[in-house]
Amino acid sequence: MLATRVSFSEPPPSRDGRLVRVRPGVYTARVRWEGLSPWERYLVRVHAFATARRDAVFSHESAAALLGLPTFGHPRLIHIFDGRRARSAKYGDVAVHTSADRRATLETAGIRTTPVEDVVVDLARALPPALGLAVADAASRSFGLFGVDLLERGSVQRNTFGLRRMEWVLNRATPLSESPAESISRVVIEWCGFPNPALQTEHEIDGRVYRSDFCWPERKVIGESDGWVKYQGDGAGEALRAEKRREDALRRAGWRIARWDYAGATGVEGLRSALLAAGLTPVRRAEAAALTSVGHNPRSL
């Protein structure tokens, strides 16, 4: 945990340029803070709140961050759950949620959250659908949760907020999408009107087996959602060479390959242009209004 409670006599922490205030009385080193991604900064905020409020039960994005599920950008609010309250409320940057249904709590390393099943259902109701699906896919992959079971859990709750959105998300959840970028890409592919792809297809070529993120066998098109982490660090050169050998083998076998990155998916046009250039054509009308929601998350800064 990067945030710690400190007590200095001289100078006060608020005047120490080496520190950043995360919450009242909780500071972290500026040099470390400035090196963090937005979602990592959010996790520090959550830990800072846990330091000040050890009785807190975290929910929504806050619980997702603690449980290793994806969050997007830097969420605006710290989310906690208090089943004793008559109604939900917001105080500064803290949202306090309640429910007409009883909820258990999960404790990890001394910090309490709502159960992962409720975290997924809550975010499926609240997040833009593409991002909610990324959370549900990650939970399916990491926790062995099934969309049908999550849908049943959400359907019996008395909360009707975001019900149709939740059903849309959980009916599509799968562990086969291996990253948020792949989950979001699936949504964009659907909303652009392209045919539904096969996921994680194996291709045996010259005695070697290669796997594709998305595949349209009848069109001989493969789609690849690039994550750049594998191309960083000491092994980056070999990773790039291995990827080129893989792609050359697939092309020799007659496959046309479309590649895009996370920004290409959330911005829509990068993904759509790549698939059109590879020869894949839409089979139904694009859902233009839905596509505008992909890269916009009002719940984050």
Model confidence pLDDT, tens digit, residues 47-79: 999 999 999 999 999 999 999 999 999 999 999
**140: in domain:** no
What CA–CA distances, in Å, run from 63 to 49, 59, 163? 12, 5, 21
Residue 211: DSSP 8-state: E
Q: How many domains does the chain have?
A: 1
CATH number at residue 190: 3.40.960.10
**199: in domain:** yes
Instruction: Give pLDDT tens digits for 96-145.
Output: 999 999 999 999 889 999 999 999 999 999 999 999 999 999 999 999 99
Q: Rounded mean pLDDT of 274-299?
A: 96
Q: State in Å, rounded, how far the first CA of the chain is from the last one.
A: 22
**84: in domain:** no
Give the E-state strand segments of 183-290 in sequence order. 198-205, 208-216, 221-226, 256-261
pLDDT at 196: 97
**34: in domain:** no
Q: Rounded mean pLDDT of 88-94?
A: 96
**27: in domain:** no
**113: in domain:** no
Range of the domain at 250: 180-291
Q: Rounded mean pLDDT of 173-199?
A: 97
pLDDT at 54: 93
**144: in domain:** no
Q: Supply the pTM of this predicted model.
A: 0.91
**17: in domain:** no
Q: Is the pLDDT of residue 233 over 60?
A: no
pLDDT at 273: 98
Least confident of 92-96, 233-237, 249-253, 284-288: 233-237
